[in-house]
Chains A and B, each alone.
Chain A
Amino acid sequence: MITLGDYLIVSGILFAIGFAGVMVRRNLIIILMSLELMLNAANLSLVAFSRFRVGPDGLPNYNAQVFVFFVITVAAAEVAVGLAILVALFRIRQTTSVRDISSLKF
């Protein structure tokens, strides 16, 4: 029997992997991918909460699932913007490494 806790553990692991990716990797594309991973970890826990919180009428709580759709939409928009910035940056700097992007540093 798979419980809510199992889902949350998976979600947590996914989030941690995503966060570690953002923190450790230098390639901007990978960082964006890791960000997506973190968002999906959140989505997973939302869906899990929805499925395991059944109301008195026998139906799951759909609010969380609706919320997930919003997150997916926003994530898509974010990736579009993020990749556009990345392409523009690559055209100017010929690089996707965050090491080289530090012109706002004091």
Chain B
Amino acid sequence: MNLMFPWLVLLAPLVSAAAITLFTLRWKTLSSAISIAAVLVSFICSCLIFAHGTVAAAEFTWIGINGVFRVPLGLTLDPLSRTMAVLVSGIGALIHIYSLGYMRDDEGKSRYFAALSLFMFAMLGIVFANNFVMLFIFWELVGFTSYVLIGHWFYRDAAADAANKAFITTRIGDFGFMIGILMVWMATGSIVFAEIAPRMSTLAGHPLFLTTVALLIFCGAVGKSAQFPLHVWLPDAMEGPTPVSALIHAATMVAAGVYMLVRVAFVIQGSPTALLVVAWIGTITAVMAALIATQQDDIKRILAYSTLSQLGYMVMAVGLASNDAAVFHLFTHAFFKALLFLGAGSVIVMLHHEQNIWNMGGLSRKLPITFASFLVGALALIGCPPFSGFFSKDAILALAYERNTAIFTVALLTAFLTAFYVIRMLVIVFFGNARSDIARESHESPPVMTVPLIVLALFATLGGFAFFARSFLTLPVERKVAIFVPALAIAALIAGSGLAIALYRNRASEPVDLELLRHKFYFDEVYSSLIHWTQELLAHVSAFVDRWIIDVGVIGGSSRGAWGIGALLRLVQVGNLQAYVFLFGLGGVAIIYFAVFRF
């Protein structure tokens, strides 16, 4: 196969984004057609690459300084990146098509599709990058395009703020990531993954250095994959159009963090301390997000917190040193979460952009296709056998059971909570009586939106079965942990769902009110007051420096110093010529004395 062929996957969306931005902004239908064509080209090429098992692609040198520093532009083509490319471009393609329906009447449709194409380019770039610099560039590009997409309705303050928040929060993590990359380069003299991996063994004697590097690189993933404590941007990112939420939350942006961790696992696995930190951050995120999700009213926010929680599972798996389990969950999660978001989008559009679940109800009869697919997604999310989520979550739970009992306990609790809030949402949205007029008058979405749902539902069902998943992934090795773990998981599932059904059946409003969870553990409040106080403190310090040190000290000091010295010196001007001469003579004598007799 031609060496340039794999580059086509990457370049098609870029060409589309450029063409739309430069030429076809006025013709919305043409723009969307170009964008969809580009993503389909990417998808087909990815499939071909996957089918052929291509390993080689052309490589260029971008920066080369006599062997000291080399930045190639090259593609990694291994089983992982081939699978991810198919997943990303496949789900991306479905979301592009779905967007046709969702963004039907939008003013900025051309702009939207251009940004979507650029996003696909950036995300595929992360998947294929074969070195840290390329990865970082695409990483930032994903950050930028997500900023554009979240802020698509920029005239709404909430959307503009959410876009800023997403960009700035992820930047905080990226800063650590960049330092980590520099440290890796400093230690190994290379930024190419394939060259770094064998050189890592030379660092085995420096555990502190390794831990620092691993944690700094993990910082990037904390930002991008919205892990505690930088998770705050993700729920707000729901202000963007729903297909964007689906794209960002399912297979792409947030998965980029986990993918990156897996890609550079050789760095992280060098340090047991770093692994433990990674595992616990994942665990904390998982349980915290699940707790918050139980008290949210916005259908998209519930899904956003469930994304956080599932990402926590993946990061936990990375921290427990099992990349296979993490990627397996990433794979199944991509399908069912895209499905859930698109389903939610379908509900939202049909209810004229109503997102509060308490204004819905009884939708199972009005939107049967959406309901059926949403149900599949929900069952996969809570890990109900035989849907895909069951297998991947079970793999992670088994792993946790084997390696760390404390993490296993928390993970099990999270599974219980997941079942609780998902069934709660399902019961409130789709069952009972319609609680508003819009809900009563709603009807099923057009085929352009339901077909992607059906396709995704199929994959969400199949995705976990070994015969299907094995053709894409290396499945985690199932050890003999007896029937104990899946049994516990299913027990948690039944308990959670049962509790949710008992609590929320035929309710018109929230029966439980937990302030702490409703306010998301006050993270936003704490952060904003933290920023506020930091700014205040900084302002006070700089005001003090300006007023007292610069104004009074430097400026006032030098002027007063000049005055003082002048006042002292003019006392010498007595106006007596003879006195001057006398002093001059004395001076001369003194100089002669010192010059002749002392030296």
Contacts and interface: CB of A to CB of B under 8 A. Distances in A.
Contacts of B570: 106
A98 B577 contact: yes
B582 interface: yes
B575 A105 contact: yes
A39 to B, nearest CB: 15
B573 A105 contact: yes
Interface string A10-40: 0000000001001110100000000000000
B574 interface: yes
Interface residues of A, number: 12
Interface string B560-582: 00000000001101111110011
Point out which of A19, A23, A103 has the most chain B C-beta atoms below 10 A from its C-beta: A23
Contacts of A106: 570-571, 573, 575
Contact of B585 (A19, A101, A103): A19
Nearest to B572: A106
B581 A23 contact: yes
A34 B582 CA distance: 14
B581 A102 contact: no
A24 B578 CA distance: 7
Main SS at interface, chain B: helix
A98 B358 CA distance: 106
B574 A101 contact: no
A104 B573 contact: yes
Contacts of B576: 102
A101 B570 CA distance: 18
A23 B575 contact: no
A23 B585 CA distance: 9
Nearest to B573: A106
Given A19-B585, A23-B585, A101 B577 contact: yes
A106 B575 CA distance: 8
A98 B578 contact: yes
A103 B576 CA distance: 10
Nearest to B578: A23
A98 B577 CA distance: 7
A105 B574 contact: yes
B578 A102 contact: no
A102 B578 CA distance: 11
A6 to B, nearest CB: 20
Interface in B579-599: 581-582, 585
A102 B576 CA distance: 7
Point out which of B571, B576, B577, B582 has the most chain A C-beta atoms below 10 A from its C-beta: B577
Contacts of A102: 575-576
B345 to A, nearest CB: 88
Contacts of B577: 98, 101
A22 to B, nearest CB: 5
Interface in B47-97: none
A48 to B, nearest CB: 18
A16 B433 CA distance: 124
A105 B574 CA distance: 6
B278 to A, nearest CB: 77
Nearest to A20: B585
Point out which of A26, A98, A104 has the most chain B C-beta atoms below 10 A from its C-beta: A98
Contacts of B585: 19, 23
Nearest to B588: A19
A23 B575 CA distance: 14
A104 B578 contact: no
Point out which of A19, A26, A98, A106 has the most chain B C-beta atoms below 10 A from its C-beta: A106
A23 B573 contact: no
Point out which of A22, A24, A104 has the most chain B C-beta atoms below 10 A from its C-beta: A22
Nearest to A98: B577
B430 to A, nearest CB: 98
Nearest to B582: A23
Give me the 10 closest cross-chain CB pairs, A-B, nearest first. Answer: A105-B575, A102-B575, A98-B577, A106-B570, A106-B573, A23-B581, A22-B581, A23-B578, A23-B582, A105-B573
22 contacts: A19-B581, A19-B585, A22-B581, A23-B578, A23-B581, A23-B585, A24-B578, A26-B578, A98-B577, A98-B578, A101-B577, A102-B575, A102-B576, A103-B575, A104-B573, A104-B575, A105-B573, A105-B575, A106-B570, A106-B571, A106-B573, A106-B575
Given A23-B585, A24-B578, A104-B573, 10 more contacts: A19-B581, A19-B585, A23-B581, A23-B582, A26-B578, A102-B576, A103-B575, A104-B575, A105-B573, A106-B573
